[in-house]
């Protein structure tokens, strides 16, 4: 595996390419912007912009059933929307790989984000998704690689939770 860097988006992109992940489903988030731009610029990958996060669970499951690999990328506030939809890949023993940028943690200004930010891990684990919290930018790529391998080889759900400490706290006027 290549050396980790502080540029976590490039590290994740490299690991996606190495694992043949060609579809990325997302409700765009500021913390994902760099990664999503890399996906969009790559001619061999497809960026699917969703209207709501559970659609991504369906697309990822269908992609797997069609012989491909997908990633669902979202902000932590969208995880709560996905809990019921996660029954689909579980029932079909299809992998469901998620990359979640966290809110409601490190220096959060918006109290609305705190409850779901705190509930992401227990909610996902309650429905059988293996969670990997990352607090250091240099560890996101290797953690993503391990989660992806576990998801695709074990045919189960796995989520990499990128700490708000890495993404940075937002303030008023930022999204």
Tokens of 39: 């996906």
Predicted pLDDT at 83: 95
CA geometry: angle 175, 165, 105, nearest 5 deg: 70
Q: Is 98 exposed, middle or buried (0-12, 13-18, 19+ CB in 10 A)?
A: buried
Does 117 or 52 have the greater pLDDT score? 52
Q: In sequence order, which residues have a C-beta less than 8 Å from that of residue 165 and are 6 or more positions away?
A: 105, 106, 135
pTM comes to 0.91
User: What was the pLDDT predicted at 152?
Assistant: 98
Identify which of 22-31, 42-51, 160-169 has the greatest average pLDDT: 42-51
pLDDT at 1 over 50: no
Cα(81)–Cα(83) distance, integer angstroms: 6
3-state secondary structure of 44: coil
- 8-109+140-166: CATH class: alpha beta
Instruction: Give yes or no for a contact between 171 and 110, defined as CB atoms under 8 angstroms apart.
Output: no
d(CA 11, CA 48): 21
| pLDDT one-digit tens code per residue, 30-85 | 889 999 999 999 999 999 999 999 999 999 999 999 999 999 999 999 999 999 99
């Amino acid at each position: 595996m290549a050396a980790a860097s502080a540029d976590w988006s490039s590290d994740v992109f490299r690991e996606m390419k190495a694992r043949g992940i060609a579809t990325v489903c997302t409700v765009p988030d500021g913390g994902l912007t760099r990664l999503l731009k890399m996906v969009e610029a790559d001619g061999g990958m497809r960026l699917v912009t969703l209207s709501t996060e559970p659609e991504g669970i369906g697309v990822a499951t269908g992609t797997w059933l069609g012989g491909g690999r997908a990633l669902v990328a979202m902000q932590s506030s969208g995880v709560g929307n996905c809990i019921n939809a996660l029954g689909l890949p579980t029932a079909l023993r299809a992998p469901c790989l998620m990359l979640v940028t966290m809110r409601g943690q490190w220096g959060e200004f918006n109290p609305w984000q705190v409850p779901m930010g705190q509930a992401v891990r227990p909610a996902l684990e309650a429905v059988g998704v293996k969670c990997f919290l990352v607090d250091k930018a240099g560890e996101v790529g290797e953690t993503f690689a391990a989660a992806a391998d576990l998801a695709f080889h074990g045919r189960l759900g796995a989520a990499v939770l990128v700490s708000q400490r890495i993404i940075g706290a937002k303030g008023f006027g930022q999204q």
